[in-house]
A and B are shown apart, each in its own frame.
Chain A
Amino acid sequence: MNIVVTNTITGGTNFPGSKSNIPEWWIRQNIAHNGSSGSHPYRFVYLDCCDAGAGSVSDDFGIPKEANGMGWYSSPSNTRHILPNAFVGWDTEVNFAPADKCWQYRKQWISTWSEGGTGVSLQDALDLARNTSGWWNVTDISLHRRIYGASEMTFRQ
């Protein structure tokens, strides 16, 4: 977790042994679920915290884990006619230090993805930021970052 002091990121901290958490059922019942129509299909969710990509949180947001690429959304398999959507989360504990480089990583992928009208995909933007931000290391980011849904989705889609 990042520490914020007077609106500036100062570091990352851990809470060893903490039992604080947001369980999946709570997200499903209070954020992403409609009693009559089921899970509301969000278009994009990035839960930048420990373990969010380890379970089935993406499904809670209506972002199907079985959607393997953009083609799935236009295929007969997409029976709910969900628009292209994507979920990003980490499948393990993440060390967000040093905070400034972690912040660089965030800003870089968001800038690359959202400011480009050239078709840079979500995964491309995340990978570019992984290589250039200097945060953490390439192996761990590659292994523990999970993208469910349409990893090729462009920002304007």
Chain B
Amino acid sequence: MILELGASPFIHVTAQYSNAVLVAVLPYFSDVAKKLDLPVPIPITQADIAEVNIWNGPGAPGAGILLKNNWSFDFQQGYVCHVENTHGKTLPPYQEPTYGPIKITATDAVKTARETLKKLGVAPEDVFSDFEPKVTLPIQNGTNVVYPYRVEWFDEWGSSSHTVDIKVDPHTGKMDRLFLLHFNLVRPPPKINVAPTPETNPHDFFGSKMPPPINPEYASKLIPIMFRAIDEYGAKLSLPVPRPLTTNHVAKVEVDRDGDSPYCDIWLTNGWRFIYTHTMVNGYDTPDRLGKRGPMHIKDFAGKWNLTTNQAIEVVKKALGKVVYPTNNIHMDFEPTVILPAGEFRKVIPRYIFEWYYRPSGQGDALSRVEAEVNADNGRLESIFYDDEAYHGSRPPIDVPILVGK
């Protein structure tokens, strides 16, 4: 079982670490440039680079480079997520480029986008490019084309977040910009030969605000309390998870805090996740939750809309009823916000997301929150979260401080 105590720190980027990351990621950039036949030197060497940015956040190493000929590349989460001909727009005078006369059609632009993905070896089902894209046509101002074709594919929730964003030069028909983002694309990071050190710069505005780490002794006393609470919660709802829960069933526990109260995620080895805050289990995600942080393919969520909205709401109410919260702390006697998969995804993914945010005065923060995802194909409650201010005053019976040094 992995135990994470609070958020991982940002890192201090030294010259040695920066060079080591660059050495590790340059072959990835060269590989992409070669596959896309970009007009850049291959292999890309340090002599070709005008600017380097090393990712200083926690987790997998990342880097971005801007070449002297204005092409740029970014590497995150084990893959090249961004390639662009910046046309100098990241350098003074920071202007958007203009393009020549429109010589290709929207169909050609989509073809270029799909061919770009194919050249990179990106499977359509990994970025949902087997669905229809959104195509933004070039914009003209007088005789100038000031905006190229833009071909986008989105995630299952629609226009707020794309999986693929490709711009195509309307004059040449070539890819001008590429951005890829999905958990399906994440790969193991390259080995970096220099270990990063935590950022301790007191002038780092965000880093300096980070709280001290969670006290390991507090965490060790909290874990059995949380496991017992999950046992009781799971038994009431007849959840298919092991009981009694032991560390052998748990992949990871993330102990965070909200003020002087715990705020924890418990990830089981079978893919279930539980949320524990203050002194209660707030809810869970099944491994089949649609909105999880991890790889997913649409075919795995396909089904039929067998439940109406009201039937799905009853699934949520029935579950909360089994947990037997005080009835005056449950507030679902009003219309929830209902969220459905967007566009074409709605035809194949039968899922409801409901949100009941109870604001007795009609404004201000919610007194109570219920969030749920219901599988409308089989009636399963794939995710539930319930919280109410009434529970925020309670603390687990632990006699050591939650933070180190407090």
B198 within 8 A of A: no
C-alpha spacing A140/B293, complex, angstroms: 12
B271 within 8 A of A: no
Q: Are A17 and B367 in contact (CB under 8 A)?
A: yes
C-alpha spacing A99/B214, complex, angstroms: 13
CB-CB nearest in chain B for A146: B160
Given the complex, which residues of B lie within 8 Å of A93, measured CB to CB? 357, 359, 365-366, 369
Please report which residues of chain A, range 58-74, place their CB below 8 angstroms from some CB of chain B when the two chains form the complex.
Answer: 69-74
Given the complex, which residues of A lie within 8 Å of B147, measured CB to CB? 69-71, 74-75
Q: Are A103 and B209 in contact (CB under 8 A)?
A: yes
Given the complex, which residues of A lie within 8 Å of B65, measured CB to CB? 118
Known contacts A98-B256, A118-B74, A124-B181; is-contact A110 B365 (Cβ 8 Å): no
CB-CB nearest in chain A for B150: A69
Given the complex, which residues of B lie within 8 Å of A15, measured CB to CB? 364-365
B80 to chain A, nearest CB (A): 11
C-alpha spacing A9/B84, complex, angstroms: 37
Q: Are A104 and B7 in contact (CB under 8 A)?
A: yes
Q: Are A16 and B89 in contact (CB under 8 A)?
A: no
A70 to chain B, nearest CB (A): 6
Q: Are A157 and B210 in contact (CB under 8 A)?
A: no
C-alpha spacing A92/B369, complex, angstroms: 12
Known contacts A10-B259, A74-B146, A124-B179; is-contact A118 B211 (Cβ 8 Å): no
CB-CB nearest in chain A for B74: A118
Residue in A75, A118, A134 whose CB lies within 8 Å of B82: A118
CB-CB contacts of B292-308 with A at 8 A, as 1s and 0s? 11000000000000000
Given the complex, which residues of A lie within 8 Å of B59, measured CB to CB? 132
Please report which residues of chain B, range 2-53, place their CB below 8 angstroms from some CB of chain A when the two chains form the complex.
Answer: 6-8, 10, 51, 53
CB-CB contacts of A76-98 with B at 8 A, as 1s and 0s? 10000000100000001101011
Q: Are B183 and A131 in contact (CB under 8 A)?
A: yes
- CB-based A-B contact count at 8 angstroms: 215
B169 within 8 A of A: no
State the majority secondary structure of interface residues on A.
mixed
CB-CB contacts of B336-376 with A at 8 A, as 1s and 0s? 01010000000000000101010111011111010100000
B196 within 8 A of A: no
Q: Are B160 and A17 in contact (CB under 8 A)?
A: no
B contacts with A, residue count (CB < 8 A): 83
B136 within 8 A of A: yes
A111 within 8 A of B: yes
CB-CB nearest in chain B for A14: B365
Given the complex, which residues of B lie within 8 Å of A106, measured CB to CB? 206
Interface centre among A11, A101, A116, A123 (most CB of B within 10 A): A116
B86 within 8 A of A: yes
A48 to chain B, nearest CB (A): 12
A81 to chain B, nearest CB (A): 11
C-alpha spacing A137/B76, complex, angstroms: 19
C-alpha spacing A21/B359, complex, angstroms: 14
Q: Are A74 and B96 in contact (CB under 8 A)?
A: yes
A9 to chain B, nearest CB (A): 5
Residue in A13, A100, A140 whose CB lies within 8 Å of B256: A100
A22 within 8 A of B: no
A55 to chain B, nearest CB (A): 12
C-alpha spacing A139/B64, complex, angstroms: 27
A143 to chain B, nearest CB (A): 6
Q: Are A18 and B365 in contact (CB under 8 A)?
A: yes
Q: Are A16 and B364 in contact (CB under 8 A)?
A: yes
Q: Are A139 and B82 in contact (CB under 8 A)?
A: no
Given the complex, which residues of B lie within 8 Å of A11, measured CB to CB? 257-261
A50 within 8 A of B: yes
CB-CB contacts of A109-130 with B at 8 A, as 1s and 0s? 0111001111111011001101
C-alpha spacing A21/B291, complex, angstroms: 31
Given the complex, which residues of B lie within 8 Å of A140, measured CB to CB? 291, 371
B231 within 8 A of A: no
A39 within 8 A of B: no
A31 within 8 A of B: no
Q: Are B360 and A17 in contact (CB under 8 A)?
A: yes
Q: Are B7 and A103 in contact (CB under 8 A)?
A: yes
Q: Are B364 and A9 in contact (CB under 8 A)?
A: no
Besides the known contacts A118-B65, A120-B64, 14 further A-B residue pairs in the complex with CB atoms under 8 A apart: A9-B211, A11-B260, A18-B365, A50-B365, A74-B147, A75-B140, A93-B359, A98-B258, A106-B206, A116-B74, A118-B64, A119-B72, A127-B162, A145-B160
> What are 6 A-B interface contacts by the 8 Å CB criterion?
A14-B365, A17-B367, A69-B136, A98-B256, A118-B72, A157-B94
Chain A residues with a Cβ under 8 A of chain B? 3-4, 7-21, 50, 69-76, 84, 92-93, 95, 97-101, 103-104, 106-108, 110-112, 115-121, 123-124, 127-128, 130-132, 134, 137-140, 142-143, 145-147, 154, 156-157
